[in-house]
Structures are given as structure tokens and as C-alpha cells.
């Protein structure tokens, strides 16, 4: 038997409103558990499942979906081989990689995000652990729900529309209804911006989550070899953050390390928050040093962006430049307000180029941003401030 049942439990919302998901895993038991976990949310529908990449592509031809949950290690065609084919053939679909937490799988997951995957989840190590992992279930449901909404927005703004859009349009009994479904575009509330003033920052802070690794690589590379320390919090577990630091270092040509307790801050270094620790900066006499905190999760995250920003604002005040990139939730918004109150300046990624416009959207709506920019302009804007004080 190659696939789990399409639906494990009835949904409490109409089929057209539920986020439609394809689950791909070579283990029948895991497919069934993932499907049940997702359908228990009530607003997610697992419309199909598959045991390898070839079957996943075949399922996608017959079952329009918003999100694919894709295992990495499978026979016949593994996830990393199937991913670029899915991205190419179904550009509006969001892909979440799923794997157990090993260094090898972390490396592959980061590669997958560079190839177009939107996010990843780390599966518990056994089916028994998976069955009882409430935290994993909540994370999976949250990411699928959020990315499903993002897929719908992307499809609604696409001239061709996604397979799901075309599927719904074909089902609609009224031509007017179908047209409305295909052309409706979610509105973005008006944003109040504070003009960016010319200034030379002493430090740069970046916060990111869903879609963040690929966004970080792009921004850091564009920033180049500036003479300010860069502090980054990306929502990731420990095994991932150590590998991400290596990737950022190779991509930027700068030293990038996971922050360690008591590490002196050097202006030529990029500091990444390690998994499960908040990254802070403290004064030690005349020196600035890294402090790692085991304090409570904030915004359901540890590491979180807000505590990093608060500590940096206390140290750098009006000499801090902040960028909030793509990510779910609102982490970074309150911290950005605190930074702005201290005189720091804030940039957020725009909705069109964000995988999920949660964190940057919340920050933009807080009214403290000096600019809301597409991803390909953020690194250059930071570099201009870092190298020239932001002056034309």
C-alpha cells in the first residue's frame, strides 16, 4: 500500500477554505500520523499522500494543493531530487521539508531551502515519539496553516493562478464567483513610515524565521565587508544554527560564529544566536561581550528576536540599525519599537518578497520603520548606511 487515507478526520471548515496538503513520506505509519496531526487542526485537509518523489509529482497532477510536506530520505526519488521539480512545475505551492534532526539532515534541509523550500520541520526520532509529540504537532500545524495562506496570496497575485485557484474556479457554479476567486487580492493596510535619517550605525541586527535562511544569505552577501558587527537571530534548533553559521560565513566571506558566553564583540564578525538560547550583548567594563540566556521563550521562540533587540538597544542606542526579514508571527516587532524609542532605525522586508509577511508585517504596522523594502534592496541599503552613513 503506497498511500495513507486522504482524510483521517472530517474537517470543521468547508473543503474550499481548508489548507490543502500533500504528505510525502516512505513510511506508511509516519504518513498516517502526519495526516492525522494535520487534520486534527480542523482547518487543514490532507487531500493526498505519497511514498516517494515520483508518486508525489503524480499526485500533484491530480490533486491541487497549497502545501507539500516532503520527507528527505525516500527510495526511487528522494525529497531533495523531487523539490526542484515541484518548485518548477508548481511555483505557487509551498514546500516544507521534514526530517529527523541529524547534522546530515540539517545540511540537506538548508540546501533544500536554497532550492526553494519555504521551511522545514524536524520529526521526532521514532514513530512512538512522533505519536506523542504535541510540540511537533503544533509546530507542523502552524507552519502548514501559515504557509498555506501565503500560497493562496501568491496564487491570487499570479496572472496564471495556482493549480488550486484553477481547480476552485472550475468548480464554481457562477462565472462571476469564479472570476472573483481568481482575481481577489488581499489588501495591505496603509503603512506609516518614519523617514530614515543619515547616520553611521555601530551595529546591525537582523531577525528572521520562515524563509529566513535564504533571505539571510542574500542580505548578508549584499551587505559585504562592512566594519560593524552583525547580530542575527533566526528561529532554528541547535544543530541547524551551527551549520547556518558556516553557510553564512562562506557566503559572506566574513567570520560568522554562533554566539558563545563571554565572547568579546568584534566589529568584523557576524554573531548568530545558537539554537535554544537567546543572544544578548552585555557590557563588561569597557568591553562588549556576548551573553547567552536560558530565559523563557518569547513569542513562542527561543532564540527570539525581541530579547536580542532590547539588549542591543541598551548597548548601542541610536547607533543601531535593525532589519526584520520574512517569518511567521510577530517576533521582532516589540523589540523594534524599543529600538526606535532609543533612537535606532528599522527596515522591514516587504510583503511581496517575504515567504510569510508575519514578522516584517507586524514590525511595519507598528509605525517605527524607516523603510519597507523588497529583499533585493535591503542588503544594499544596509551597506550604504554602514559604509557611507546613508548619505546620497
The number of C-alpha atoms within 13 Å of 251 and in the hemisphere containing its C-beta is 19
Q: Catalytic site residue 247?
A: no
Identified catalytic residue from 26, 52, 331, 350: 331
List the chain domain ranges. Answer: 19-183, 203-388
Identified catalytic residue from 41, 209, 311, 366: 209
For range 104-126, the mean pLDDT:
88
Q: Catalytic site residue 331?
A: yes
Q: Under the phi-then-psi rule, with left for phi > 0, alpha for psi from -120 to 50, and beta for the rest, what region is 173? A: alpha
Instruction: Tell me whether strands 278-284 and 287-293 are parallel, antiparallel or unpaired.
Output: antiparallel
The answer to whether the 19-183 and 203-388 domains have the same CATH topology is yes
pLDDT tens string 22-47: 999 999 999 999 999 999 999 999 99
Q: What is the pLDDT of residue 158?
A: 63
Q: Catalytic site residue 350?
A: no
Mean pLDDT score of the chain? 87
Q: Find cell 493562496 and name the residue.
A: 152
From CA 79, how far away is CA 96, in angstroms rounded? 10
Identified catalytic residue from 146, 235, 278, 354: 235
pLDDT grade for 131, boundaries at 50, 70 and 90: low
Q: 19-183 has which fold?
A: Rossmann fold (3.40.50)
From CA 167, how far away is CA 65, in angstroms rounded? 10
Q: Is the peptide bond before 89 cis (omega within 30 degrees of 0)?
A: no
pTM for this model (two decimals): 0.84
3-state secondary structure of 93: coil
pLDDT tens string 228-257: 999 999 999 988 999 999 999 998 999 999
| Whole-number Cα distances in Å, 336 to 25, 65, 133, 208 | 40, 36, 33, 13
Cβ neighbours of residue 354 closer than 8 Å, sequence gap 6 or more: 211, 325, 326, 327, 360, 361, 375
Q: For the domain 203-388, what is the CATH code? A: 3.40.50.180
From CA 137, how far away is CA 121, in angstroms rounded? 10
Q: Do residues 362 and 330 touch, judged by C-beta distance below 8 A?
A: yes
pLDDT grade for 135, boundaries at 50, 70 and 90: confident
Amino acid at each position: 500500500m503506497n498511500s495513507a487515507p486522504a482524510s483521517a478526520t472530517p474537517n470543521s471548515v468547508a473543503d474550499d477554505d481548508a489548507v490543502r496538503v500533500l504528505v510525502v513520506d516512505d513510511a506508511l505509519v509516519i504518513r498516517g500520523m502526519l495526516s492525522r496531526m494535520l487534520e486534527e487542526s480542523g482547518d487543514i485537509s490532507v487531500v493526498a499522500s505519497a511514498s516517494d518523489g515520483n508518486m508525489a509529482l503524480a499526485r500533484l497532477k491530480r490533486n491541487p494543493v497549497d502545501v507539500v510536506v516532503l520527507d528527505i530520505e525516500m527510495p526511487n526519488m528522494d525529497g531533495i531530487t523531487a523539490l526542484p521539480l515541484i518548485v518548477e512545475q508548481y511555483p505557487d505551492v509551498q514546500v516544507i521539508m521534514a526530517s529527523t534532526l541529524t547534522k546530515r539532515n540539517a545540511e540537506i534541509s538548508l540546501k533544500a531551502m536554497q532550492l526553494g523550500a519555504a521551511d522545514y520541520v524536524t520529526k521526532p526520532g521514532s514513530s512512538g515519539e512522533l505519536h506523542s509529540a504535541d510540540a511537533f504537532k503544533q509546530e507542523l500545524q502552524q507552519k502548514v496553516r501559515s504557509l498555506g495562506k501565503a500560497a493562496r496570496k501568491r496564487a491570487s497575485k499570479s496572472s496564471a493562478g495556482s493549480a488550486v485557484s484553477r481547480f476552485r474556479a472550475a468548480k464554481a457554479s457562477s462565472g462571476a464567483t469564479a472570476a472573483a476567486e481568481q482575481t481577489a487580492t488581499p489588501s495591505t493596510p496603509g503603512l506609516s513610515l518614519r523617514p530614515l535619517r543619515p547616520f553611521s550605525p555601530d551595529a546591525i541586527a537582523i531577525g528572521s524565521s520562515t524563509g529566513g535562511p535564504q533571505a539571510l544569505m542574500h542580505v548578508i552577501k549584499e551587505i559585504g565587508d562592512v566594519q560593524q558587527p552583525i547580530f542575527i537571530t533566526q528561529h532554528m534548533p541547535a544543530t541547524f544554527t551551527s551549520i547556518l553559521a558556516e553557510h553564512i560565513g562562506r557566503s559572506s566571506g566574513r567570520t560568522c560564529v554562533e554566539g558563545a558566553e563571554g565572547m568579546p564583540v568584534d566589529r568584523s564578525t557576524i554573531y548568530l544566536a545558537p539554537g535554544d538560547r537567546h543572544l544578548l550583548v552585555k557590557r563588561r567594563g569597557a568591553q562588549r561581550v556576548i551573553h547567552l540566556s536560558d530565559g523563557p521563550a518569547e513569542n513562542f521562540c527561543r532564540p527570539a528576536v525581541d530579547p536580542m533587540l532590547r539588549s542591543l538597544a541598551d548597548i548601542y542606542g541610536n547607533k543601531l540599525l535593525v532589519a526584520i526579514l520574512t517569518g511567521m508571527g510577530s517576533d521582532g516587532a516589540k523589540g523594534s519599537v524599543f529600538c526606535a524609542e532609543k533612537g535606532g532605525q528599522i527596515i522591514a522586508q516587504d510583503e511581496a518578497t517575504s515567504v510569510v509577511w508575519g514578522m516584517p508585517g507586524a514590525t511595519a504596522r507598528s509605525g517605527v520603520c524607516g523603510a519597507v523594502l523588497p529583499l533585493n534592496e535591503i542588503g544594499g541599503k544596509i551597506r550604504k548606511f554602514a559604509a557611507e552613513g546613508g548619505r546620497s
